[in-house]
Amino acid sequence: MKTKDKIIETGNKLLSEKGYNAFSYADIAKTISIKTSSIHYHFPSKADLCLAIIETHRQRILKLKNSQMELSAEEKLRGLFGYYLFLIDRQQICLTGTLASDYNSLDENITEKLKEFNKTILSHTADLLQTGVERKEFHGIENCRMKAMEILSMLVGLAQIGRLYPKDEIQLLLDQYINNLKQ
């Protein structure tokens, strides 16, 4: 793995575990055994690193969406839920949750990139719900965008409290949520 990718990966881990304002380049340098000047070479500012982290997450959502073209709406939703369960397994908070808590102290470029990321994930979720409605997999959804916002709000919250509850209980809740959409 290239040094730049290691920096992004480590920065992402620290961001999701501690929050934006609670980690430094020194933490990253210590974790991957490089000098802070190497980090500054790739990312002159912490804001630049955060923008790269957000873009990495946005690309993951786009990759997930593209890999799910042939799946049912339920399978797509389970894939999205799986992303959040993965974070819970790793005791990490999702990108939106961690950056939203620091929102007022963030650089404007970060807040704009975060909005772009959330627009991407909201669009993906609304699209898969619309597909589910059209294919008669999901019922009782009047507005797919609003339902997508509800789901994403739930997932951000679950990623936060996932540190407090057993994963099997959260999985049960997500299964129940899907079953409710199918009724």
How would you write 33-64 as a 3-class SS string? CCCHHHHHHHCCCHHHHHHHHHHHHHHHHHHH
2, 52, 107, 168, 169 from 96: Cα distances, Å: 26, 14, 15, 23, 22
Tokens representing residue 121 in the block: 């994930």
| Residue ranges in the chain modelled with pLDDT below 70 | none
Tokens representing residue 32 in the block: 């991957």
The answer to whether the beta carbons of residues 103 and 177 sit under 8 Å apart is no
48, 101, 103, 113 from 106: Cα distances, Å: 12, 10, 5, 11
Tally Cβ neighbours within 10 Å of residue 139. 11
| Closest-CA residue to 81 (of 142, 13, 156) | 156
Q: How many residues does the chain have?
A: 183
Q: Which CATH superfamily is domain 53-182 in?
A: Tetracycline Repressor, domain 2 (1.10.357.10)
- Domain segments of the chain as ranges: 53-182
